A and B are shown apart, each in its own frame.
Chain A
Amino acid sequence: MFIIIFMVLGILILLLQTTFLQLMPAWLGKPDILFLLIVYISCKPDILRGLVVVLLLGLLMDVFSGVFLGLYPVIYLLVFAFIKGISRRIAINEFAYQVPLAVISYLFVSTGMYIFSFSLAPDTPPQWSWGTVLLQLLMLTVIGAPVFGVFDSIMNVYRSISASGRILGTKRSNRFRE
């Protein structure tokens, strides 16, 4: 259920990003909401299902963006590992940490994208533009909190569904008799 809900959400965000958000003026930038979803999933304690969703979304992103197939899954999995590594030291599941974490992770992803693209095609290095990167970071900072709020409410819905499913769906035998 977790995988399905967040995959559907990821697909919806991807569709939004490739169509509607492209109409935004260039000077305003285009927010990477899917990246925020990746960060959000990575912050959750469920490692296995989170990993599956991140991998699938990376593969999906490869279809709609970029030139080198496999670049997005690698980058997203690195972000996942990076956040999981940090989560051992900081309680990043808390709302206050998520936005700064997203901003740092985006900087990490941008650097990763540049290095990977450069190493895959040294003759045609991508254009690094601090202006564009900083604009994206600013946008992630601004929209981060409300977007994470939406993701949280979706997560709560998922939890309530799964909790009610557990109560209604499965009848366990009397363990005291066993």
Chain B
Amino acid sequence: MIRKRGKRSSHIRFFLLFGCLLTAILILIISMAGRKEFSAPHKFGLEVIGPFQTAIAKVSNFADSILGKYVALLHVREENEQLRQELLKYKVANIEYREAVATNVRLQKLLELKESLPPPTLTAEIVGKDPSLWFRTLTINRGSSDGVQKGMPVVTVEGVVGQVLTSSPNYSKVLLATDPNSAIDVITQKTRVQGIIKGKGPDAFALHYVLKSAEVEKDDYVLTSGLGGVFPKGLMVGTVSGIENSRRGMFQNIDVIPAVDFSQLEYLIIIMKKFSLTGD
């Protein structure tokens, strides 16, 4: 009897305890759901934990930002590399494009000149330049198999370049007008004074055999006279840049700037037939 009472009272205590706990939890849940403001314990807990939380948050934020920046940097580096590659690609493309345009313009001019000259003419490309200090010659990719012969005039759009010195079946050597051994019969455009142009250094001509009595003006154009039978009449040679009359001698010392930039030569035109541009 006494055992049965003990068992029943313990069950009642358990249910009471469990009921009270459940009720308290229910009351807590209902009270929290209903009120929006922190209660005192909440505030206390927050005040205690808050500083640590802040500190940890700061550290984690710092770490996160560092990591984020590092990851971003990695991406930026990759992106930078990619952009650099793209830039390089576009630069190369741009250079190729410009080169193509420049070649096109040059060839267009050559074509125009070629059309203006009576046929036959032949276009040639420079394959080599004279390595010595004493002579000025070029090697071109046209030879006797193309009909190139010794003495044929070689020109560009700007003017006279020189004449063919020797030729093999596929290549020729061109004596530049700037070589001291070159001599071209010329005439000044305005005053019609005749003389002979000879090479004087890498980028200069000297106009020889012009009498002191002859009138030559500075900046006057110098053209081929057609005399001598090598160069046709009327081709541009250069511009008079300086005139000096020394006391001694019969002739004037006249400097001429070449019309052609000899350092920029690429394509040339060989005039295959000796003729005069004015039909003389």
Contacts and interface: CB of A to CB of B under 8 A. Distances in A.
A in complex with B: yes
A113 B134 contact: yes
B175 A67 contact: yes
Given A65-B132, A121-B181, 14 more contacts: A14-B131, A22-B128, A22-B129, A64-B137, A64-B173, A66-B135, A66-B137, A67-B137, A67-B179, A110-B133, A124-B180, A124-B198, A125-B180, A136-B133
27 contacts: A14-B131, A17-B131, A19-B127, A22-B129, A22-B131, A32-B131, A63-B173, A64-B130, A64-B131, A64-B173, A65-B130, A65-B132, A66-B134, A66-B135, A66-B137, A67-B135, A67-B175, A67-B179, A110-B134, A117-B134, A124-B180, A124-B198, A125-B180, A126-B180, A129-B201, A132-B133, A133-B133
Interface in B156-211: 165, 173, 175, 179-181, 183, 198, 200-202
Interface string B113-133: 000000000000001111111
B128 A67 contact: no
A114 interface: yes
Contact of A30 (B131, B137, B200, B263): B131
A30 B129 CA distance: 11
B130 A124 contact: no
B181 A18 contact: no
Nearest to B132: A65
**Interface size classification for chain B:** 20 to 34
Interface of A: 14-15, 17-19, 21-22, 26, 30, 32, 34, 63-67, 110, 113-114, 117, 121, 124-127, 129, 132-133, 136
B131 A65 contact: yes
A127 B130 contact: no
Interface in B93-151: 127-135, 137, 139
B183 A18 contact: no
Contacts of B179: 67
Chain A contact surface mostly: helix
Contact of A34 (B131, B134, B173): B131
Interface of B: 127-135, 137, 139, 165, 173, 175, 179-181, 183, 198, 200-202, 263
Contacts of B135: 65-67, 126
Given A114-B134, A124-B180, A67 B202 contact: no
B96 to A, nearest CB: 19
B129 A18 contact: yes
Contacts of B201: 127, 129
Contact of A26 (B128, B134, B183, B263): B263
Contact of B200 (A34, A127, A132): A127
B134 A126 contact: yes
